[in-house]
Structure formats: structure tokens, C-alpha cells
Structure 1
Amino acid sequence: MGTCGFSGKGGRKNYYSTFTAVEVQETFYRPVSTDTLQRWRDEAPSNFEFTVKAFQGITHPASSPTWKRARGLKPTPNHGFFKPSREVLEGWELTRSEAQALGASVIVFQTPPSFGSSEENVLNIDAFFTKIDRGSLILGWEPRGKWYSHTELLEQVLRRHNLVHVVDPFRHMSLVDSKVQYFRLHGIGRGEVNYSYKYTDEDLARLLSTIDSLSASKVYVFFNNIHMFEDALRFKKMVEKK
């Protein structure tokens, strides 16, 4: 368990001593140098786990506001939506190399609500995950938007490409009963994300009960809200107490 991105006072050193894992966010917005990633790996405890959020050039089109944080990178019409383009495949190779530098075994693809369940998008997904070399990596996908109005199709795509269904368990549960479950918590209420939300003790107890009910051998829990460090720490203490 941990947070989406390093958070809390005291920097990475304090984070490493508090949590057992982090979902690296920097890799989504822009390339991160191998030296930086290896330094993070070297300074972390040996049993600390990194997961990687895939580069936005794979999933997000040039119109996405997330590109504003790309620090000078210029998106093209060939970026995003798993398009069968050189740019998207280069984004995959970048993400895979970053995961390797961190010793990460899990990569998460998060698609925007604008990436709907159209025939073209399904064909793009099929082409992308068929073509790439994932090796032993565990790949997860967090769909947003209208995919949940087409759960049968969503489940088919997840199973076809052996993808972990990344979900916020307060909104959806995984459609695939896989050995690995991956939760990203974005706050409760107000659509798909409510970053200002602070989880109550009752919320966290419900989360723990949900995890206890799973047959998975490994569950990742990453908080992604304004109060994520405090909420994750409270949840950690709740788990340890139990």
C-alpha cells in the first residue's frame, strides 16, 4: 500500500520508511532519466516496490490537458488512444525501460473518459497489446468513462490480453478474478474522481473488508487524493492492528 506519487513531509526518505510501495506518477507526464530512476531504486529498502504509470503518449491524445505538465514535450496527432503508430510504440519502449530501471513488475495504463468503447479503440487496444513484448511484466488498465456501460465488452478485452482490471473499489470491482488486484482510490462522490475527499474510518473499514473478501494473492492499494498520505497511513495502521 501507499500513494500515487511520493507524498507527505520529509521527502522520499520518510516515504520509504512509512510505506511499502509507490505508484510512480512522473513517468506518466514525461520521460524520467535512468539515473534518476536507479537512484530512487538504490535509496529505497530492498523490499520496497515500485509500480509505474505508463507514459501519457500511449493513452492520451494531444488534446488532453495532462500534456501541459509534459515540460516542453510536443504531442502529435499520432499520440494516444493506443494508436498503431511509431510514437505510441516508442512510448511503450520508454515505459518498459523505466520499469526495468526501477525493478518494477507492474505497469498501469490509465485511459481518459474520451477513450470510449468504439470499434476503432478496441482494434487499437488489440493491436497494441498483441504487438508489444511485455516479458514477465504485469499490465493493468484503468478505463474511465462509458466503458462501464459495456461491461461485457470490457471484460472480453481484459481477458483477451491478460490485463489486470485497475479500479477504484468504491466505484467498481474488478471484472476479472485475477491473482493480482490493483486499487487506485480517487475519493468518493462527484463522478469518477473527487480528489478533495478525505476517507472516514468507516470508509477504510469497508475497504479492508472488501480486500478480505478477495481471493487474490496480492492486492495493491494506492490512495490518489489530496489527503492521500494521511489516509494511507491511517489505513496501514488499521491493517496492522487487525
Structure 2
Amino acid sequence: VGFLRPTGAVFKYWELTLKEAKVLGAKFILIQLPKSFKESEESFANAEKFFARIDRDEFEIAVELRGWSEEGIKKFVREFDLIDVADPVVRKPLHRKRINYYRLHGSYQRGRIIYKHKYSEKELREIVKKVKKWDEEESYIYFNNAYMCDDAKRFIQILAS
């Protein structure tokens, strides 16, 4: 959402997102910020103005911060009352409220995400273990890799066994 800058365009797109979330019957809205949204005073200042002005309605807001320090993520999600979106392969969520939201993008090589990664049976079983261990009232797992449908189906089978 435009680096959360408090501009008319950003607020317009937030209102459109809110409207669509209502139509879809969503429980929460994901704000996925790019790696170029750096951990800085400017980012915190923009976020403070953004979250102070928006209407959250009944929605929880989940945020995916990339390349931030653990301390920076903790501060951000707590200060603005957000759900921390985490890849369970990489780390445990830092602020979960009553909902866990996981995104699995693939494997990581030299700081880059490899979306063409297909999760092995062993990897999926490890993820299931972690997710069950960190269980909250609700957990959402979103596969965002090239094999997302196949990986999600196998994940559900492992979860059910």
C-alpha cells in the first residue's frame, strides 16, 4: 500500500481493499510490504500516520515485513496491533494475537526466495510439527510457491494423519 505513506492514493486503495474484504467475507487483510520498505524512522512515521487514519472495521490486519530485524518486527507489529506473518521454516511469529498466519514461499538461497521449490515430505512434516506447537485459536497457512496446490494438498494430508 504505497509504503504506507499517508497520501490520498494510499488511503483510496485502502478503502477499496476494505470494501473488497467485506464482499469476500474475509477475516483479515494482509499487507505485504516489499523488501524495499526498510526498517527506518521514516517507515515507522508513515505507518503511524497510516494506521491512525484508517478504518479497520472488524478486520484484523496481518503484515509481512521483509528484511527487518526481529526487534524491528516486534516493535512494528505490537505498536500497530498487527499479526506478524512468518515463514515457519525461517522463524516463529513474533506477535500473534489469537491468529497465526504463515506464508511459505519456497526455499531460500543466498538471501533470495526460490519460488520453484517443491517441499519434500520431510519438510512438510517439520512445518506441521512447528505449526501445531505454535497453535493459537486460528492458524492460516498460505503456500506461495510454484507448487502451491500440490504442496497444500500434501500438507493437508499430513495434517489429517
Identify whether the pair has TM-score above 0.5, normalized to the shorter chain: yes
1:233 partnered with 2:153 = yes
Q: Could you tell me which amino acid in structure 1 is paired with residue 19 of structure 2?
A: S
In the superposition, the TM-score normalised over structure 2's length comes to: 0.95
Q: From the superposition, tell whether residues 159 and 183 of structure 1 become closer, same or farther in structure 2 (CA, over 3 Å).
A: same
Partner of 1:158: 77
1:186-197 correspondence to structure 2 within 5 Å: 186-190=105-109, 191-197=111-117
Which secondary structure does the structure 2 equivalent of 1:117 belong to? coil
Structure 1, residues 137-179: CA drift from partner, whole Å, max 9, x if none? 010000112x12xx22321121111100001111122111421
Structure 1, residues 174-219: CA drift from partner, whole Å, max 9, x if none? 1114210000100122225210100001001001100111141110
State whether residues 35 and 65 of structure 2, in contact with CA within 8 Å, keep that contact through their aligned partners in structure 1. Answer: yes
1:144-155 correspondence to structure 2 within 5 Å: 144-145=66-67, 147-148=68-69, 151-155=70-74
Partner of 1:130: 52
State whether residues 179 and 218 of structure 1, in contact with CA within 8 Å, keep that contact through their aligned partners in structure 2. Answer: yes
Which secondary structure does the structure 2 equivalent of 1:113 belong to? coil
1:80-119 correspondence to structure 2 within 5 Å: 80-119=2-41
In the superposition, the TM-score normalised over structure 1's length comes to: 0.64
- Which of 114, 131, 137 is 1:211 aligned to? 131
Q: Could you tell me which amino acid in structure 2 is paired with residue 159 of structure 1?
A: R
Which secondary structure does the structure 1 equivalent of 2:101 belong to? strand
Which secondary structure does the structure 2 equivalent of 1:130 belong to? helix
State whether residues 195 and 225 of structure 1, in contact with CA within 8 Å, keep that contact through their aligned partners in structure 2. Answer: yes
Q: From the superposition, tell whether residues 94 and 193 of structure 1 become closer, same or farther in structure 2 (CA, over 3 Å).
A: same
Unaligned segments of structure 1, at least 5 residues: 1-57, 59-79
The CA distance in 1 between the partners of 2:5 and 2:31, in whole Å, is 14
The CA distance in 1 between the partners of 2:22 and 2:97, in whole Å, is 23
Q: Could you tell me which amino acid in structure 2 is paired with residue 194 of structure 1?
A: I
The CA distance in 1 between the partners of 2:14 and 2:41, in whole Å, is 22
- Which of 175, 178, 200 is 2:94 aligned to? 175
Which secondary structure does the structure 2 equivalent of 1:183 belong to? strand
Higher CA-based Rg: 1
State whether residues 106 and 140 of structure 1, in contact with CA within 8 Å, keep that contact through their aligned partners in structure 2. Answer: yes
Which secondary structure does the structure 2 equivalent of 1:171 belong to? coil
The CA distance in 2 between the partners of 1:163 and 1:175, in whole Å, is 10
State whether residues 100 and 135 of structure 2, in contact with CA within 8 Å, keep that contact through their aligned partners in structure 1. Answer: no
The CA distance in 2 between the partners of 1:193 and 1:216, in whole Å, is 27
Structure 1, residues 39-63: CA drift from partner, whole Å, max 9, x if none? xxxxxxxxxxxxxxxxxxx1xxxxx
* Runs of at least 4 residues off by over 2 Å: none
Which secondary structure does the structure 1 equivalent of 2:115 belong to? coil
State whether residues 111 and 142 of structure 1, in contact with CA within 8 Å, keep that contact through their aligned partners in structure 2. Answer: yes
Q: Which has the higher strand share?
A: 2
1:220 partnered with 2:134 = no
The CA distance in 2 between the partners of 1:192 and 1:163, in whole Å, is 25
1:121 partnered with 2:33 = no
Which secondary structure does the structure 2 equivalent of 1:84 belong to? coil
Aligned-residue identity in percent = 36
